């Protein structure tokens, strides 16, 4: 399955942004460029092409929370 429709990608991008904000509190702009899902032998492989934009302070906070700062 390929998701390349601009309309569908826009809806998915907004949903991902809302989930990230709700779960983490970070305000990150997400743009889904392409999504490809392949199912083979009961396993699913998902490939995403995503661009994200966030403030420097939020990036530093994320890095600190995972121990990279």
Cα–Cα dist 36/45, whole Å: 8
- pLDDT band at residue 2 using 50, 70 and 90 as cut-offs: confident
Helix (H) or strand (E) holding 40: strand 29-40
At 58-68, the pLDDT tens digits run 999 999 988 98
Cα–Cα dist 11/44, whole Å: 22
Higher pLDDT: 4 or 25? It is 25
Distances (CA, A) of 20 to 23, 26, 40: 5, 7, 29
At 11-58, the pLDDT tens digits run 999 999 999 999 989 999 999 999 999 999 999 999 999 999 999 999
Q: What pLDDT is attached to residue 64?
A: 92
State the DSSP code for 3: E
């Amino acid at each position: 399955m390929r998701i390349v429709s601009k309309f569908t990608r826009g809806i998915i991008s907004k949903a991902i942004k809302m989930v990230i904000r709700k779960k983490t509190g970070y305000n990150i702009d997400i743009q889904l460029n392409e999504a490809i899902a392949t199912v083979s032998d009961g396993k699913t492989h998902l490939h995403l092409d995503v661009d994200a934009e966030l403030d420097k302070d939020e990036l530093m906070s994320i890095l600190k929370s995972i121990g990279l700062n």
